[in-house]
A and B are shown apart, each in its own frame.
Chain A
Amino acid sequence: MIVAWRKTARFGHAEVFAAIALLSFVVARFAPVLSLPLVCPLRGLAGIPCATCGMTHAFVHLAHGEVARALDASPLGALVAAAAWAYAALDLARAALGAPLPAPSARAARTAAAVGLVALVANWAWLVVREVRS
C-alpha cells in the first residue's frame, strides 16, 4: 500500500508545517523581503550561488502571481512554494473537516525523498551553470 489514512488530532505536526507554509506566503506577499540587505554568504564570499539561492525571489514573485519570474529566479523554489501553499490549504481544510491524514508508506516516502534530493542537485547545477555563463 502506497498511502494509508490516519485519523489525527486537530492540531499536530502536519498543521505546524501548514502554518509555517502559510506564514511563508504572508511574508512573501506582504513583507518587503526583497528590500532587506541580505546576501547569500556563499555567493558573497565565493561568487557561487548556493542551492537555495533565488528561492526568496521565487517565493515573492509567485506570491504576487508572477509565475515566469518565479521560475526564472529558481525553478525549484517556485515549485516548492506552490507545493507548500497548496499543502497548507489542503491540510487546513482537512483539519477543519476532521478528515483523516494521508500517511505515505515508507517506500513512497523514500522515493519522494530521493526525487527531492535529485531535484535540489539539478536546480543547483542549473543555477551554477547560469552564473558561470553570465
Chain B
Amino acid sequence: MLARCARCNGTFSTDRYGRLVCPHCGSELILPAPPGTPAEPEAQQPAPPTSPGTPSPPAGAGGEGRGEGAPPPQGGFGPPPGYGPPGWGPPPGYGAPPPAGAGPAQPSPFADRARLGFLAAFFETWKLVATQPEQFFARVRSDQPWHAILFGVIASSVGNALAALYTFASGKQAMVAFQQMAQKLPEEQAKFFELYSQALTGPALAVQIVLAPVFTFIGIYLIAALVHVLLLLFRGGRRGFDATLTAVGYVTGLNLLLAVPACGSLIAMVWATVALIVGLAAIQRCGTGKAAAAVLAPFALLCLCVCGAAGLAVPALLKGVGDAAKSVPTTQL
C-alpha cells in the first residue's frame, strides 16, 4: 500500500502497519492498522532505504519529533487521498502547504548518476538547480544529503580551479594594478591590497586548487549549520538538518559559475543566494519569507553592525575635525 508521511508529505510504499520510519525525512511514525487487521509487533521496523553511508541526522539539527524518545508527530501518517479507509492521513492544515511542483519525493538526477551517466546526471542536476530551484527542491529527496554534498564539492572545485587558472593567466597585470592602487591608499588599506596581490601568485593559487574540495566540504557543513540555526530561530526548520544540508549542497554547485571570467564570483554569489532562498523555502516547506530571513540575516547583521560602528565613529570623527579646524592658523581681517 502507499502511505504518506504527515511531516514531509512524501509518499512511500509499505506492506505493514505499526511503528515505521519515513524514508524521506526520517521521522518515526505510527501507521494505525485498520479495524479487523491484526497488529504487527513493533520490533520489526524496516530500515529506511537510504543510500550506503547515509548517516543519521545530528543532535539538535532540527529533527523535531524524531528519535527514540520523541513522540511521533500528530496525526501519524497515512495513504494519499483516495487510499485506505476514511479517516486516515494527517488532520487538515497540518504543516505548511507544499510548494508548487511538490509531489512524491524523487532522487535527483545526480543521485541516479549510475544509471544516467555521470556527466549527463551532473549537468541535468545543475540545470535544474539553476533554472528551476523551486520545482527541483520541492521534489528532491531530503534524506540523501551525501549526493548533494558531492555535487557541491565537485562543481565548486571545478569552478575554483578554472577561476584560479584565469587569475594565474592575468595575475601579473592584476598585481601591477594592485600595487599602483596601493601606493595611493592609506597604510592599512595599502597593506590589504598588497596581501591580496600576493594571493595571485602561482603557489598560492596551487594551494587554493588543491584545498578547494576540503574547504568546500567544510564550508557546506558550516553554512548549512548557520542557516539551519537561523531557520530554527524563525521556526522554519521543520524537515530537519538533512533538508537544509541538501539545499546548501546542491546550491553550492552553482559555484561552477566561478569559471566565468571576471564577473563569475559576483554572478555565482547572487544566483546562489537567490536559489538558496527559493530552494530552502521549497525543501523545508517554510515559506519564502522565513527562508529569506535565514539566508539574509547574516548580511543584515553585517550591515547593522557596520552602521552601528559608523555611528560610534562619528563623535570621534567630529572631534578630529574640530581639533583640525582649531589648529589651522586664522587671519584676522
Interfacial residues, chain A to chain B (CB-CB below 8 A): 1, 4-9, 11-17, 20, 23, 37-39, 41-48, 50-51, 100-106, 108-110, 112-114, 116-117, 120-121, 124-125, 128-129, 132
> Do most interface residues of chain A lie in helix, strand or loop, or is the interface mixed?
helix
Nearest-Cβ distance from residue B95 to partner chain A, whole angstroms? 14
> With A13-B61, A37-B195 known to touch, is A128 a contact of B233 (CB < 8 Å)?
no
Do A132 and B68 touch (CB < 8 A)?
A: no
Complex partner residue of A17 from B225, B306, B309, CB under 8 angstroms: B225
Given known contacts A51-B305, A124-B305, A44 and B192 CB-to-CB distance under 8 angstroms:
yes
Are B232 and A13 within 8 A (Cβ)? no
Nearest chain B CB to A63 CB, angstrom units: 18
Stretch of B3-11, B33-41, B51-59 on the interface side: B51-59
CB < 8 Å A-B pair total:
126
Cα distance, A116 to B297, chains bound together (Å): 14
> In the complex, which residues of chain A have a beta carbon less than 8 angstroms from the beta carbon of B58?
12-14, 17, 101
Does B67 have its Cβ within 8 Å of any Cβ on chain A? Answer: yes
Q: Given A113-B230, A117-B233 in contact, is the A13-B57 Cβ separation under 8 Å?
A: yes
| A106-B64, A121-B301 known; A6+B56 contact, CB < 8 A | yes
Whole-angstrom CA separation of A12 from B54 in the bound complex:
7
Closest to A87 in B: B59
B188 at interface, CB cutoff 8 A = yes
Distance in Å: Cβ of B186 to nearest Cβ of chain A: 9
Assuming A121-B305, A128-B312, is B221 touching A17 (CB within 8 A)? Answer: yes
A40 to chain B, nearest CB (A): 9
